[in-house]
A = this chain, B = another copy of it.
Amino acid sequence: MAPLAIGIDVGGTQIRAALVAADGAVLDRLAVPTPATEGAAFVVARIAEAARSVAGDAPVIGIGLSAPGPLDAERGIALATPTIAGFVDFPLAAEVRAATGLPVALENDGIAAAIGEWRFGAGRGLANLVYVTVSTGIGGGVVVDDHVLRGRKGMAGHIGHMTVMRGGELCACGHHGCFEAHASGTAFLARARRLAAGRAGSALHAPGPALSGAAVFAAAAAGDALAEELVAEEAEMLGLGFASLLHLYSPDVLVMGGGMSAQFAALGPRIEAAVRRIAMPPFRDVPILPAALGDNSGLAGAGALAFERFGPGAG
Protein backbone atom coordinates (compact mmCIF):
# COMPACT_ATOMS: atom_id res chain seq x y z
CA MET A 1 0.00 0.00 0.00
CA ALA A 2 1.29 3.47 -0.89
CA PRO A 3 2.33 5.50 2.14
CA LEU A 4 -0.14 8.01 3.55
CA ALA A 5 0.17 11.12 5.71
CA ILE A 6 -1.90 12.39 8.59
CA GLY A 7 -3.17 15.94 8.25
CA ILE A 8 -4.41 17.59 11.43
CA ASP A 9 -6.04 20.96 11.85
CA VAL A 10 -6.15 22.25 15.42
CA GLY A 11 -8.67 25.02 15.91
CA GLY A 12 -10.11 26.75 18.95
CA THR A 13 -13.33 24.74 18.61
CA GLN A 14 -12.41 21.52 16.83
CA ILE A 15 -9.49 19.24 16.20
CA ARG A 16 -9.89 17.71 12.74
CA ALA A 17 -7.76 14.85 11.49
CA ALA A 18 -7.55 13.10 8.14
CA LEU A 19 -5.64 10.45 6.31
CA VAL A 20 -4.26 12.11 3.19
CA ALA A 21 -2.88 10.48 0.04
CA ALA A 22 0.04 11.86 -1.95
CA ASP A 23 -2.38 13.20 -4.56
CA GLY A 24 -4.27 15.22 -1.92
CA ALA A 25 -7.20 12.84 -1.60
CA VAL A 26 -8.72 12.98 1.89
CA LEU A 27 -9.40 9.31 2.64
CA ASP A 28 -10.76 9.45 6.12
CA ARG A 29 -11.73 12.30 8.39
CA LEU A 30 -12.83 12.90 11.93
CA ALA A 31 -13.48 15.86 14.17
CA VAL A 32 -13.39 16.06 17.96
CA PRO A 33 -13.94 19.04 20.25
CA THR A 34 -10.81 20.95 21.31
CA PRO A 35 -10.39 20.93 25.11
CA ALA A 36 -9.46 24.58 24.68
CA THR A 37 -9.68 25.58 28.33
CA GLU A 38 -8.19 22.45 29.90
CA GLY A 39 -4.55 23.10 29.11
CA ALA A 40 -2.05 22.20 26.43
CA ALA A 41 -1.41 18.63 27.64
CA PHE A 42 -5.07 17.74 27.12
CA VAL A 43 -5.02 19.20 23.64
CA VAL A 44 -1.91 17.19 22.76
CA ALA A 45 -3.51 13.99 24.10
CA ARG A 46 -6.61 14.64 22.01
CA ILE A 47 -4.50 15.30 18.89
CA ALA A 48 -2.59 12.02 19.39
CA GLU A 49 -5.84 10.12 19.87
CA ALA A 50 -7.30 11.60 16.69
CA ALA A 51 -4.11 10.75 14.78
CA ARG A 52 -4.17 7.12 15.93
CA SER A 53 -7.82 6.85 15.14
CA VAL A 54 -7.61 8.05 11.50
CA ALA A 55 -4.35 6.16 10.88
CA GLY A 56 -5.64 2.76 11.93
CA ASP A 57 -3.28 0.20 10.41
CA ALA A 58 -2.32 2.38 7.41
CA PRO A 59 1.37 2.96 6.64
CA VAL A 60 1.88 6.56 7.78
CA ILE A 61 4.97 8.67 7.06
CA GLY A 62 4.27 11.51 9.48
CA ILE A 63 1.96 14.29 10.61
CA GLY A 64 1.35 17.69 9.07
CA LEU A 65 -0.09 19.85 11.85
CA SER A 66 -1.98 23.01 11.04
CA ALA A 67 -2.61 25.42 13.94
CA PRO A 68 -3.63 29.05 14.45
CA GLY A 69 -0.90 31.69 14.54
CA PRO A 70 1.11 33.35 15.64
CA LEU A 71 3.42 30.38 15.82
CA ASP A 72 7.08 29.81 15.10
CA ALA A 73 6.69 27.20 12.39
CA GLU A 74 10.44 26.76 11.97
CA ARG A 75 10.88 25.72 15.60
CA GLY A 76 7.48 24.07 15.97
CA ILE A 77 6.28 26.39 18.72
CA ALA A 78 2.83 27.88 19.37
CA LEU A 79 3.72 31.42 20.44
CA ALA A 80 0.49 32.90 21.74
CA THR A 81 -2.69 31.27 20.43
CA PRO A 82 -5.52 33.33 21.91
CA THR A 83 -8.16 30.59 21.53
CA ILE A 84 -6.36 27.71 23.28
CA ALA A 85 -5.24 27.87 26.93
CA GLY A 86 -1.59 26.96 27.45
CA PHE A 87 -0.55 27.52 23.84
CA VAL A 88 1.97 30.18 24.86
CA ASP A 89 5.57 29.47 23.85
CA PHE A 90 4.44 25.86 23.74
CA PRO A 91 6.58 23.28 21.84
CA LEU A 92 3.59 21.81 20.05
CA ALA A 93 5.42 19.87 17.34
CA ALA A 94 7.78 18.19 19.80
CA GLU A 95 4.93 17.29 22.18
CA VAL A 96 2.80 15.74 19.43
CA ARG A 97 5.85 13.88 18.17
CA ALA A 98 6.45 12.51 21.67
CA ALA A 99 2.81 11.49 22.04
CA THR A 100 2.53 9.75 18.65
CA GLY A 101 6.04 8.59 17.82
CA LEU A 102 5.62 10.16 14.37
CA PRO A 103 7.57 13.05 12.85
CA VAL A 104 5.56 16.29 12.95
CA ALA A 105 5.70 19.38 10.71
CA LEU A 106 3.91 22.37 12.20
CA GLU A 107 2.44 25.03 9.93
CA ASN A 108 0.30 28.12 10.33
CA ASP A 109 -3.29 27.18 9.41
CA GLY A 110 -3.52 29.84 6.71
CA ILE A 111 -0.36 28.60 5.05
CA ALA A 112 -1.45 24.96 5.30
CA ALA A 113 -4.73 25.76 3.55
CA ALA A 114 -2.86 27.79 0.92
CA ILE A 115 -0.68 24.75 0.21
CA GLY A 116 -3.79 22.59 -0.13
CA GLU A 117 -5.43 24.94 -2.65
CA TRP A 118 -2.16 25.41 -4.50
CA ARG A 119 -1.32 21.71 -4.81
CA PHE A 120 -4.79 20.27 -5.28
CA GLY A 121 -7.39 23.05 -5.52
CA ALA A 122 -8.18 26.39 -7.16
CA GLY A 123 -4.52 27.29 -7.67
CA ARG A 124 -3.30 23.98 -9.04
CA GLY A 125 -0.57 24.43 -11.64
CA LEU A 126 -0.15 28.16 -10.99
CA ALA A 127 3.05 29.76 -9.71
CA ASN A 128 1.43 32.55 -7.68
CA LEU A 129 -1.50 32.27 -5.30
CA VAL A 130 -2.90 34.21 -2.37
CA TYR A 131 -5.24 32.24 -0.13
CA VAL A 132 -7.40 34.17 2.31
CA THR A 133 -9.55 32.49 4.91
CA VAL A 134 -12.44 34.69 6.02
CA SER A 135 -13.98 33.20 9.11
CA THR A 136 -14.19 34.37 12.73
CA GLY A 137 -10.85 36.02 11.91
CA ILE A 138 -8.92 36.51 8.68
CA GLY A 139 -5.77 34.56 7.91
CA GLY A 140 -4.00 33.32 4.86
CA GLY A 141 -1.02 31.98 3.06
CA VAL A 142 0.88 33.02 -0.02
CA VAL A 143 2.75 31.29 -2.83
CA VAL A 144 5.00 33.45 -5.02
CA ASP A 145 7.13 32.13 -7.89
CA ASP A 146 6.27 28.53 -6.90
CA HIS A 147 7.52 29.14 -3.38
CA VAL A 148 5.43 29.05 -0.18
CA LEU A 149 6.26 32.25 1.73
CA ARG A 150 7.35 31.57 5.28
CA GLY A 151 9.65 34.42 6.29
CA ARG A 152 11.14 35.05 9.71
CA LYS A 153 9.86 32.44 12.20
CA GLY A 154 7.52 31.19 9.44
CA MET A 155 5.22 34.14 10.18
CA ALA A 156 4.63 35.55 6.67
CA GLY A 157 1.07 36.04 5.47
CA HIS A 158 -0.61 37.47 8.58
CA ILE A 159 -3.05 39.04 6.17
CA GLY A 160 -5.73 39.80 8.75
CA HIS A 161 -3.53 42.34 10.49
CA MET A 162 -2.73 44.73 7.70
CA THR A 163 -4.33 48.05 8.51
CA VAL A 164 -7.04 48.95 6.00
CA MET A 165 -8.50 51.86 7.92
CA ARG A 166 -6.38 53.93 10.24
CA GLY A 167 -8.30 54.57 13.43
CA GLY A 168 -10.99 52.07 12.40
CA GLU A 169 -12.63 49.24 14.32
CA LEU A 170 -10.84 47.72 17.32
CA CYS A 171 -9.26 44.37 16.44
CA ALA A 172 -8.75 41.36 18.71
CA CYS A 173 -5.01 42.09 18.41
CA GLY A 174 -5.49 45.40 20.23
CA HIS A 175 -4.84 47.63 17.22
CA HIS A 176 -7.49 49.58 15.30
CA GLY A 177 -8.42 49.19 11.65
CA CYS A 178 -7.05 45.73 10.81
CA PHE A 179 -8.53 43.94 7.77
CA GLU A 180 -9.83 41.28 10.17
CA ALA A 181 -11.61 43.90 12.30
CA HIS A 182 -13.50 45.18 9.24
CA ALA A 183 -14.12 42.15 7.04
CA SER A 184 -14.12 38.94 9.12
CA GLY A 185 -17.29 37.00 9.80
CA THR A 186 -17.19 38.35 13.34
CA ALA A 187 -17.00 41.94 12.07
CA PHE A 188 -19.81 41.29 9.59
CA LEU A 189 -22.10 39.91 12.24
CA ALA A 190 -21.30 42.66 14.74
CA ARG A 191 -22.15 45.29 12.14
CA ALA A 192 -25.35 43.48 11.19
CA ARG A 193 -26.54 43.25 14.81
CA ARG A 194 -25.66 46.88 15.48
CA LEU A 195 -27.50 48.23 12.45
CA ALA A 196 -30.45 45.81 12.75
CA ALA A 197 -31.14 47.05 16.26
CA GLY A 198 -31.95 50.49 14.86
CA ARG A 199 -33.85 49.41 11.74
CA ALA A 200 -37.32 48.27 12.82
CA GLY A 201 -38.51 47.85 9.21
CA SER A 202 -35.90 45.24 8.34
CA ALA A 203 -36.29 41.48 8.49
CA LEU A 204 -33.06 41.53 10.49
CA HIS A 205 -34.55 43.50 13.37
CA ALA A 206 -36.58 40.74 15.06
CA PRO A 207 -33.85 38.14 15.74
CA GLY A 208 -31.85 40.60 17.88
CA PRO A 209 -28.71 39.03 19.29
CA ALA A 210 -29.74 35.69 17.73
CA LEU A 211 -29.22 37.10 14.23
CA SER A 212 -26.88 34.86 12.22
CA GLY A 213 -24.66 35.65 9.26
CA ALA A 214 -26.52 33.17 7.08
CA ALA A 215 -29.79 34.94 7.93
CA VAL A 216 -28.36 38.21 6.65
CA PHE A 217 -27.46 36.63 3.32
CA ALA A 218 -30.88 34.98 3.08
CA ALA A 219 -32.61 38.30 3.77
CA ALA A 220 -30.43 40.04 1.16
CA ALA A 221 -31.42 37.42 -1.40
CA ALA A 222 -35.07 38.12 -0.50
CA GLY A 223 -34.55 41.84 -1.11
CA ASP A 224 -34.29 43.25 2.41
CA ALA A 225 -32.64 46.66 2.01
CA LEU A 226 -30.54 46.60 5.18
CA ALA A 227 -29.33 43.07 4.45
CA GLU A 228 -28.36 44.14 0.94
CA GLU A 229 -26.41 47.09 2.36
CA LEU A 230 -24.59 44.78 4.77
CA VAL A 231 -23.65 42.30 2.05
CA ALA A 232 -22.51 45.14 -0.22
CA GLU A 233 -20.40 46.61 2.59
CA GLU A 234 -18.82 43.23 3.37
CA ALA A 235 -17.95 42.73 -0.30
CA GLU A 236 -16.53 46.25 -0.49
CA MET A 237 -14.25 45.68 2.52
CA LEU A 238 -13.12 42.30 1.17
CA GLY A 239 -12.47 43.87 -2.23
CA LEU A 240 -10.48 46.67 -0.63
CA GLY A 241 -8.26 44.22 1.23
CA PHE A 242 -7.95 41.83 -1.71
CA ALA A 243 -6.87 44.70 -4.01
CA SER A 244 -4.07 45.49 -1.55
CA LEU A 245 -3.02 41.84 -1.59
CA LEU A 246 -2.86 41.86 -5.40
CA HIS A 247 -0.51 44.86 -5.28
CA LEU A 248 1.61 43.32 -2.53
CA TYR A 249 2.03 39.74 -3.82
CA SER A 250 0.94 39.84 -7.52
CA PRO A 251 -0.78 36.43 -7.55
CA ASP A 252 -2.21 34.62 -10.58
CA VAL A 253 -5.31 33.94 -8.53
CA LEU A 254 -6.76 34.97 -5.18
CA VAL A 255 -8.59 32.14 -3.43
CA MET A 256 -11.11 32.81 -0.68
CA GLY A 257 -11.85 30.13 1.90
CA GLY A 258 -13.25 30.01 5.43
CA GLY A 259 -16.85 30.11 6.61
CA MET A 260 -17.64 33.31 4.72
CA SER A 261 -16.78 31.64 1.41
CA ALA A 262 -20.01 29.64 1.74
CA GLN A 263 -21.61 32.92 0.61
CA PHE A 264 -19.33 33.33 -2.38
CA ALA A 265 -22.24 33.27 -4.86
CA ALA A 266 -23.53 36.51 -3.34
CA LEU A 267 -20.18 38.08 -2.48
CA GLY A 268 -17.99 37.08 -5.42
CA PRO A 269 -19.35 39.38 -8.15
CA ARG A 270 -19.43 42.35 -5.76
CA ILE A 271 -15.88 41.64 -4.57
CA GLU A 272 -14.71 41.44 -8.19
CA ALA A 273 -16.39 44.76 -8.96
CA ALA A 274 -14.66 46.42 -6.00
CA VAL A 275 -11.27 44.98 -6.97
CA ARG A 276 -11.68 46.15 -10.58
CA ARG A 277 -12.39 49.65 -9.30
CA ILE A 278 -9.68 49.84 -6.63
CA ALA A 279 -6.70 47.94 -8.06
CA MET A 280 -4.31 49.49 -10.58
CA PRO A 281 -5.11 48.44 -14.17
CA PRO A 282 -2.45 45.71 -14.58
CA PHE A 283 -3.85 43.90 -11.51
CA ARG A 284 -7.55 44.06 -12.40
CA ASP A 285 -7.86 40.82 -14.34
CA VAL A 286 -6.71 38.50 -11.55
CA PRO A 287 -9.48 35.97 -10.83
CA ILE A 288 -11.01 35.87 -7.34
CA LEU A 289 -12.17 32.31 -6.71
CA PRO A 290 -13.73 30.33 -3.86
CA ALA A 291 -11.63 27.54 -2.32
CA ALA A 292 -12.06 24.39 -4.42
CA LEU A 293 -11.49 22.00 -1.51
CA GLY A 294 -13.95 23.65 0.85
CA ASP A 295 -13.04 22.90 4.43
CA ASN A 296 -10.54 20.23 3.35
CA SER A 297 -7.95 22.80 2.13
CA GLY A 298 -6.06 22.81 5.40
CA LEU A 299 -6.12 19.03 5.92
CA ALA A 300 -4.96 18.34 2.35
CA GLY A 301 -2.27 21.02 2.71
CA ALA A 302 -1.07 19.62 6.04
CA GLY A 303 -0.87 16.20 4.42
CA ALA A 304 1.12 17.63 1.49
CA LEU A 305 3.49 19.25 3.96
CA ALA A 306 4.08 15.91 5.68
CA PHE A 307 4.84 14.28 2.32
CA GLU A 308 7.23 17.11 1.46
CA ARG A 309 9.11 16.78 4.75
CA PHE A 310 8.92 13.06 5.53
CA GLY A 311 7.81 11.35 2.32
CA PRO A 312 9.80 8.94 0.14
CA GLY A 313 11.52 11.72 -1.83
CA ALA A 314 12.12 14.08 1.12
CA GLY A 315 15.64 15.29 1.71
Contact = CB atoms under 8 A, between A and B. Distances in A.
A131 to B, nearest CB: 14
A175 B282 contact: no
A80 B284 CA distance: 14
Contacts of A144: 144, 147, 149-151, 156
Contact of A128 (B152, B158, B175, B252): B152
A134 interface: no
B250 A158 contact: yes
Give the number of times this chain occurs in the complex, counting copies. 2
A161 interface: yes
Contact of A251 (B79, B151, B164): B151
A155 B248 contact: no
B70 A163 contact: no
Contacts of A7: none
A124 interface: no
A197 interface: no
Contacts of A64: none
A235 to B, nearest CB: 14
A79 to B, nearest CB: 5
Contacts of A153: 250, 282
A281 interface: yes
A41 interface: no
A167 B281 CA distance: 19
A192 interface: no
A79 B280 CA distance: 11
Contacts of A182: 166
Interface in A209-256: 237, 240-241, 243-244, 247-252
A243 B163 contact: yes
Contacts of A286: 152
A286 B152 CA distance: 9
B244 A156 contact: no
A145 interface: yes
A159 interface: yes
A94 interface: no
Contacts of A128: 151-152, 156
A90 interface: no
A159 B248 contact: yes
B155 A282 contact: yes
Interface of A: 70, 72, 79-80, 127-128, 144-145, 147, 149-159, 161-168, 173, 175, 177, 182, 237, 240-241, 243-244, 247-252, 278, 280-283, 286
